[in-house]
């Protein structure tokens, strides 16, 4: 135990070394606490941060880059921060605390344990934050935060096991570390963990109905960015953030959409043609739907199913902004689509199934702590039922793409093996690139964060025999 604590102390000290002493203003700390609280209520966390930072006039200001970095630092440490909060407060879980108090403690622990603060900033962190959360909830809550502050300030992290030491090192839950080590081996798993903790470039897809890649690149260069055009998906452009999409002419005019390279490849693999009938079974908020419409030259019909009203509202706004007119939206359970549209109906079917999203951890840093391993079986059952609906919708000779942004074999290869066994008329169409062939099911493909500099993604292209 002493050895583990010593190693952890060195790990934390190495992280603090070389960091400049941070200085904060009152507004900074209020915005950070409110953004961290909002991230529990709105998903994804990037959206919560943008809403709160816009409220405090931080977006695009000189403080934006620093506060964005601290926000994401808190998000990716949430599980570790909560361990420390349990130690200093004695509560069994921070989830029973007042939401404002929980957010304030997470910010305070992150800044005091893993960063260096100026003396004046420490004073603000104690007094201003206590006053701020008192005004938002109850004076006793602020008083409690003020009292526990000194315990946080003097706290020394402890590691109770080897895997808990790795939790601090890679900021990932113990069960996930052990699962990926078993799947990939210790060395490759470590490379994946490192990739999860690198801040990814922003990734956008060009709407070819309204703009060319060259036009978008020139505009981004005029804005001071250094855009890189993807070699795997030539309509995807990457550049370093932050970027204020709300004030971007390209974004407001529907010339670009936020989408990762690996996600954008899915529509290209399915390859919908102008005039075809396409069904997108898990469509909102519309990234793949709009891409398929572009590939179809806005000719044909896409039937888009989703049950999430808020995401469908965003999707409708996106379709309007991007000038897409061939999409018919159904706020219905995707599993009901064959009853609504009929069997043997579609030329192409997209099944981007709900999943654990473990491939997107670098992009959505707090996700690593939200995944519940005991819920994996329920998710897989849902994936199978949606995929089965897609098979029923498909015409003989038609093609279906099954994909997930998960690194778990249970959600990818195992689901596809199940459908092939249940429906002998379905066959795999071999995928030969641009990513890596799956080691667990030949003919399918995987993108990996540590190998391809994008989110983790699984793809299987299926065809119904005529």
- Listed by start position, the domains of the chain span 2-162, 202-258, 261-464
Half-sphere CA count of 54, side-chain side, radius 13 A: 12
Any idea which fold 2-162 has? N-utilizing Substance Protein B Homolog; Chain A (1.10.940)
Which runs of E-coded beta strand occur in 66-214?
Answer: 202-206
pLDDT at residue 289 in the model: 98
pLDDT of residue 160: 82
For 290, how many CA atoms within 13 A lie in the half-sphere containing its CB? 30
The domain 202-258 having CATH identifier 3.40.50.1370: the answer here is: no
Three-class DSSP category at 445: strand
Active site residues: 405
Number of H helices, E strands in the chain: 20, 13
Residue 273, pLDDT score: 98
Average pLDDT of adjacent 10-residue blocks, the chain of 466 residues: 73 73 94 96 84 93 92 93 95 96 98 93 96 96 96 89 90 95 96 93 97 97 96 97 89 96 98 98 96 98 96 96 97 97 97 96 88 94 98 98 98 98 98 97 98 97 95
Burial code (b: 16+ CB inside 10 Å, e: under 16) for 332-369 equals ebbbebbeebeeebbbbbbbbbebbbbbbbbbbbbbbb
- The pLDDT score that the predictor gives to residue 2 is 67
Backbone angles phi, psi at 424, to 5 degrees: -60, -20
Please state the length of the chain.
466
**Which neighbouring-strand residues pair with 404?**
458
Q: Is residue 67 a contact partner of residue 22, using CB atoms and an 8 Å limit?
A: no
Token pair recorded at residue 455: 């989110």
CATH architecture designation of domain 261-464: 3-Layer(aba) Sandwich (3.40)
Q: Helices marked H in 172-326 — which ranges?
A: 174-184, 186-196, 213-222, 249-252, 261-270, 287-295, 309-322
- Which is it for strands 301-305 and 327-330: parallel, antiparallel or unpaired? parallel
Burial class (CB in 10 A: 0-12, 13-18, 19+), 404: buried
Record the pTM.
0.88
Same fold, 2-162 and 261-464: no
CA distances from 120 to 116, 125, 154, 161, 310 (A): 12, 9, 17, 37, 42
Dist CA 405 CA 353 (whole Å): 9
Predicted local confidence at residue 208, as pLDDT: 96
Written as six digits, the tokens of 96 are: 């029973």
What is the rounded CA–CA span in Å between residue 185 and residue 450?
14
Burial status of residue 91 (CB atoms within 10 A of its CB: 0-12, 13-18, 19 or more)? middle
Q: Is 145 in contact with 50 (CB distance < 8 Å)?
A: no
Rounded CA-CA distance 4/163 in Å is 10
């Amino acid at each position: 135990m002493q050895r583990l604590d010593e190693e952890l102390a060195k790990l934390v000290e190495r992280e603090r070394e070389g960091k400049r002493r941070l200085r904060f203003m009152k507004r900074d700390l209020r915005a950070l606490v409110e953004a961290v609280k909002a991230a529990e209520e709105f998903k994804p966390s990037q959206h919560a941060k943008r809403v709160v930072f816009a409220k405090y006039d931080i977006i695009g200001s000189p403080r934006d880059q620093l506060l964005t970095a601290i926000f994401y630092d808190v998000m990716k440490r949430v599980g570790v921060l909560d361990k420390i909060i349990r130690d200093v407060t004695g509560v069994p879980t921070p989830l029973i605390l007042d939401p404002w108090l929980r957010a304030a403690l997470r910010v305070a622990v992150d800044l005091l344990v893993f960063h260096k603060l100026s003396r004046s900033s420490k004073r603000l962190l104690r007094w201003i934050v206590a006053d701020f959360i008192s005004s938002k909830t109850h004076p006793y809550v602020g008083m409690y935060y003020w009292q526990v502050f000194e315990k946080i300030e003097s706290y020394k992290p402890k590691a109770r096991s080897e895997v808990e030491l790795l939790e601090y090192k890679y900021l990932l839950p113990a069960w996930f570390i052990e699962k990926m080590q078993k799947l990939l081996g210790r060395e490759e798993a470590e490379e994946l963990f490192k990739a999860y903790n690198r801040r990814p470039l922003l990734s956008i897809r060009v709407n070819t109905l309204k703009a060319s890649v060259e036009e978008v690149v020139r505009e981004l260069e005029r804005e001071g960015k250094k855009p890189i055009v993807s070699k795997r998906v030539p309509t995807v452009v990457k550049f370093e953030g932050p970027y204020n999409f709300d004030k971007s002419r390209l974004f407001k005019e529907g010339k670009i959409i936020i989408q990762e390279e690996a996600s954008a490849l899915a529509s290209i693999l399915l390859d919908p043609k102008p005039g075809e009938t396409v069904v997108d079974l898990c469509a909102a908020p519309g990234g793949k739907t709009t891409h398929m419409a572009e590939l179809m030259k806005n000719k044909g019909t896409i039937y888009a199913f989703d049950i999430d009203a808020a995401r469908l509202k965003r999707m409708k706004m996106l379709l309007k902004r991007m000038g897409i007119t061939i999409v018919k939206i159904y706020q219905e359970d995707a599993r009901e689509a064959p009853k609504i549209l009929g069997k043997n109906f579609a030329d192409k079917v997209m099944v981007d199934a709900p999943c654990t999203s473990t491939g997107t951890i670098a992009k959505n840093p707090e996700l690593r702590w939200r995944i519940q391993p005991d819920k994996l079986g329920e998710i897989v059952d849902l994936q199978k039922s949606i995929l089965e609906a897609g098979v029923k919708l498909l015409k003989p000779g038609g093609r279906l793409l099954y994909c997930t942004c998960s690194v778990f074999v249970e959600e990818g290869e195992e689901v596809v093996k199940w459908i092939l066994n249940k429906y002998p008329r379905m066959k795999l169409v071999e995928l030969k690139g641009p990513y890596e062939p799956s080691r667990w099911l030949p003919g399918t493909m995987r993108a990996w964060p540590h190998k391809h500099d994008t989110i983790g993604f699984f793809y299987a292209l299926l065809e119904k025999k005529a």
